[in-house]
Structure 1
Amino acid sequence: MAATRCATRGWSTSPGCVRTGSTYRPCTSSRSSTASTSWRVRCPQRPRPWTTRWRRCFELWDSEAAAVQQGDAVATGEHPRLSRTAVIVLSVALVVVAFNLRTTIASLPTLLSDIRRDIPLTGAVAGVLTALPLLCMAWLAPVSSRLTGVVGYPYTTLAALGLITVGSGLRGLSQSAWGLLAATFVAGAGIALLGIVLPAVVKDVFRHHVGMATGAYTAALALGAAVASAASDPLSVAFESWRKSLAWWAIPALVSVVVWLIALRFLPAHHHGGAVDRRPHRLPWRNRTAWLLTLYLTAQASLAYAYVAWLPPAYIERGWSPLAAGSLYGASSVTSVVAVLVFPMLSDRSVGFRTMLMVAVGFTLIGTVWLWLLPDVLPWVSVVIFGIGSGAGFSMGLARVVTYASDAQSSSTLTAMIFLICFSVTAIVPVAIGALHDVTGGFSVPFGLIVIIAIVQLLLASKLTDEHIGTVH
């Protein structure tokens, strides 16, 4: 390939840029000594830039080199880099799409008392209603991975957003418990699809900026959860209807459909086929790295959802008002949005990934120990510390999903395995915390269990080294 291209284009094999008659020729072009299929153009003896002749020579050189790099990338199966405009549009689309990942889940709990006054729901049915999106994320994960492999991530993303839009809208029309459960299931299926496909998007489109892209969509996810939780009750008051408040979250999902359709126009043809290998892959059950990362993210999610469910009730028992107790966890959510952006960006630059991950999980452990041993001493500071660690630990764990997978399809199968185990366990942890509270009559023992989970997470984080990159197939 190298000899053919150089002979065809008349390139010189001598260093520098030379002129023969009216023909300008770039310097040596050779394959990289690494396994990369990209081309490198070297010119160690670069002439002075103000000479017109040499300026023209280097203009031709740059265009020739770009053509070779683009052509060889296509010929060898490596996807050429996207244009700057495409990257900007797809980055915006990624953030807008990720905003919808938790709005269905977070918008329900604050309205649950109003719903139960209008629709007769037993405590068990109410519990299933709140847990159903999580169960969808767990149990539909393998199906979502197969669909991504067959259809490709561009159209899987579109289908997921469509399901979230329809499910959110149907919740506003529900007149019975069964109707509400069915609508929540539809939206939960969309969330399951979207959660599986976004790491594949990052792997394929933003593979040169994994930490930054993962941080951006994780921040959008956390922001969507915070906004939905805070705005659902005011919307219910403004609309004088909890149904309209739930249905309102179909609007951002519908906007995301439009934005993603625009973004599809900026994807090259090979991206529309989805992953490199379109055959559905099996989940990596026998891969040690996959299990290590699965256990880490299971611990991370267990901590987060345990506090979502029980931190406000714990402080209400201590005499706090419901508004103040809810604001306490809200402070944790706000700081986590900042952390999910900052920590992955730092790990992408000069600071090592494992170092930043250990710092993040260390913050989590400090926050949990503080809330356990000193719950009445500066609790706002303790939840902020926990929020920083929790948000950063979650975002960097998702970044490891992308880097440990060998390609986009492997990323989706790894995510499916993580979701299946992680959210199955996560749905049980709040129940276990509540059972311990009922048995002991307080939150000391349950919060001690949370500290043990944080210690296990720290031990697992120490094993997530760079040697596992690209080992999950």
Structure 2
Amino acid sequence: MREIQTKSALTAVIFAILLVALNLRPAISSIGPMLEPIRTDLVLTNGQVSLLTAVPVLCMGLFAPFAIVFNRRFGLKRSIGFLLAVIGVFTLGRGFWPSYFNLLLSSFFIGIAIAIIGPMLSAMIKRDFPTRTASLIGVYSFGMGLGATLAAGLTSVVYAASGWPAGLAVWSGLALAALIVWLRMPEASAKSEQLPDDPLPISGSPWKNVKAWYMLLFFGFQSAFFFSMLTWLAPIAIDKGLSVLSAGAVVTVMTAVQIVCNISIPLLFSRYPNRFLWVLAVLAFGTAGILLLMFAGAWAVWPAAALIGVALGGLFPIALLLPLDATDSADEANSWAAMTQSGGYLISAFMPFIIGVVYDQTGNHDITLWMFLAFVLLMILFAYLLNRKA
């Protein structure tokens, strides 16, 4: 057992994990409420501005395998410390150099940092908390959700006071706080956090298994649903007549409900284990929210955001659990999860951009909302295929 022994060390590591996780979404989720001000000030098309969220998600799919390379070369503690600094520097740079080129550049490097930190945090949790894995993954997920919620809501407040460059750059403070706490972690815990020198053995490639491909596609479309909503819910709300500040608050409602469901819904899985029924249940909420956006007035944006938040909050833990349900060993589960997340993020990276291009052509979000319904139907299809008895 490599469990961390003292309560003080345990608390310090958990707090460090929480702060690091807080930094894995604000640089992306802060863009959504600022899409319209950025597009107007920099004279951009909707397709161009949507790349600011598409690029980091694409990087999350492409660069996750580099986590092993970073650990071998620099070690886990120094790697995460360096990557937190990358997030902080490039986030701060958005305030001092608010050009489209710099926004794209920062999105690229921040996306790489997020892609590498994610697997390294998961590996640390698996190695150092073998009896508390579920709890620590909960802390990790909660941190990501809380970071997204804070950025989605408070960015608009900073924008109202100081403009969108300051609204984006202010989140560098989170990276600085996380870096200080991370580097001050007890040295005993840091020693136990090292990943193995050799890659984990893999028992059979999931790339040859059709169920793994269904999981990849399910993960891809639930991720596409999340990032597309994160990017375009605020512009949809603005189109319905809400102010920029109110639109940011709408996204905050969605992400706040999401993080509550991220924690609460998995607690019910042991009592009601059928994943397909859970998919149907949470997507019923999501479908109701989409229909409100399609056919109701401005008042409906708020309940629609809450309903969609329930769907997003349930879908993510289900997508994470599917590879674990289908495998018999930790090594096998690791390879299946890596495949589903890497491929899934690659799929989802292009969806906000495609929505932006379609919006440029049509001038409204009618097709956007139909695309959201298509995501729902595709998730139901792949969940059904996974639920079938072989």
Q: Which residue does the alignment assign to 2:266? A: 344
- The equivalences for 1:446-457 within 5 A come to 446-457=368-379
Equivalent residue letter for 2:101:
W
Residue among 209, 225, 244 paired with 2:148: 225
Q: Which residue does the alignment assign to 1:368? A: 287
Q: Which residue does the alignment assign to 1:359? A: 278
> 1:363 touches 1:389 (CA, 8 Å); kept in 2?
yes
Q: Which residue does the alignment assign to 2:319? A: 397
**CA distance, structure 2, for counterparts of residue 107 and residue 200 of structure 1:** 27
Question: Which is worse superposed, 171-180 or 119-128?
Answer: 119-128
Q: Which residue does the alignment assign to 1:418? A: 340
**CA distance, structure 2, for counterparts of residue 165 and residue 146 of structure 1:** 22
Equivalent residue letter for 1:158:
G
Equivalent residue letter for 1:87:
L
**CA distance, structure 2, for counterparts of residue 421 and residue 215 of structure 1:** 23
> 1:284 touches 1:290 (CA, 8 Å); kept in 2?
yes
> 1:361 touches 1:390 (CA, 8 Å); kept in 2?
no
**CA distance, structure 1, for counterparts of residue 246 and residue 157 of structure 2:** 16
Q: Does 1:248 align with 2:248?
A: no
> 2:28 touches 2:56 (CA, 8 Å); kept in 1?
yes
Q: CA deviation at 1:224?
A: 0.8
Residue among 179, 183, 194 paired with 1:273: 194
- Considering fraction of residues, name the structure with more helix: 2
- The equivalences for 1:74-93 within 5 A come to 79-83=1-5, 85=7, 86-93=9-16
> 2:27 touches 2:91 (CA, 8 Å); kept in 1?
yes
Q: Does 1:430 align with 2:352?
A: yes
Q: Which residue does the alignment assign to 1:184? A: 107
> 2:142 touches 2:262 (CA, 8 Å); kept in 1?
yes
Count of residues in Structure 1 that have an aligned counterpart in Structure 2: 383
SS across alignment from 1:263:
coil
Q: CA deviation at 1:300?
A: 0.8
Q: CA deviation at 1:394?
A: 0.7
Q: CA deviation at 1:102?
A: 0.7
Q: How far does the alpha carbon of each residue in 1:188-211 deviate from its partner, in whole angstroms, 9 at most, with x for none?
A: 221111223232233223343333
> 1:226 touches 1:334 (CA, 8 Å); kept in 2?
yes
> TM-score, normalised on structure 2?
0.80
Q: CA deviation at 1:274?
A: 0.8
Q: CA deviation at 1:94?
A: 1.6
**CA distance, structure 2, for counterparts of residue 237 and residue 435 of structure 1:** 28
**CA distance, structure 1, for counterparts of residue 35 and residue 303 of structure 2:** 29
**CA distance, structure 2, for counterparts of residue 241 and residue 312 of structure 1:** 17
SS across alignment from 1:82:
coil
Q: CA deviation at 1:167?
A: 1.7
Q: How far does the alpha carbon of each residue in 1:276-323 deviate from its partner, in whole angstroms, 9 at most, with x for none?
A: 744798985335554343222112111122323343444444445554
**CA distance, structure 1, for counterparts of residue 46 and residue 367 of structure 2:** 24
**CA distance, structure 2, for counterparts of residue 441 and residue 237 of structure 1:** 26
> 2:88 touches 2:173 (CA, 8 Å); kept in 1?
yes
Q: CA deviation at 1:381?
A: 3.7
- The equivalences for 1:70-469 within 5 A come to 79-83=1-5, 85=7, 86-115=9-38, 125-148=48-71, 153-174=76-97, 176-238=99-161, 240=162, 242-263=164-185, 265-267=187-189, 269=191, 271-275=192-196, 277-278=198-199, 284-288=206-210, 290-347=212-269, 350-352=270-272, 354-355=273-274, 358-359=277-278, 361-372=280-291, 375-376=295-296, 380-400=302-322, 404=327, 406-407=329-330, 411=334, 414=336, 416-434=338-356, 443=365, 446-461=368-383
What residue ranges of structure 1 are gaps of 5+ in the alignment?
1-78, 468-473
Equivalent residue letter for 1:193:
I
Equivalent residue letter for 2:174:
P
Q: CA deviation at 1:400?
A: 4.8
What residue ranges of structure 2 are gaps of 5+ in the alignment?
none
SS across alignment from 2:180:
helix
SS across alignment from 2:137:
helix
Cα-Cα RMSD: 3.7
Q: CA deviation at 1:216?
A: 2.3
**CA distance, structure 2, for counterparts of residue 274 and residue 149 of structure 1:** 8
> 1:105 touches 1:130 (CA, 8 Å); kept in 2?
yes
SS across alignment from 2:150:
helix
Which of structures 1 and 2 has the bigger CA Rg? 1
Equivalent residue letter for 1:368:
T
**CA distance, structure 1, for counterparts of residue 367 and residue 152 of structure 2:** 28
> 1:361 touches 1:389 (CA, 8 Å); kept in 2?
no
Equivalent residue letter for 1:184:
S
Change in 2 beyond 3 A, CA 1:395/1:196: same
> TM-score, normalised on structure 1?
0.68
Equivalent residue letter for 2:133:
V
Q: CA deviation at 1:379?
A: 5.3
**CA distance, structure 2, for counterparts of residue 316 and residue 141 of structure 1:** 35
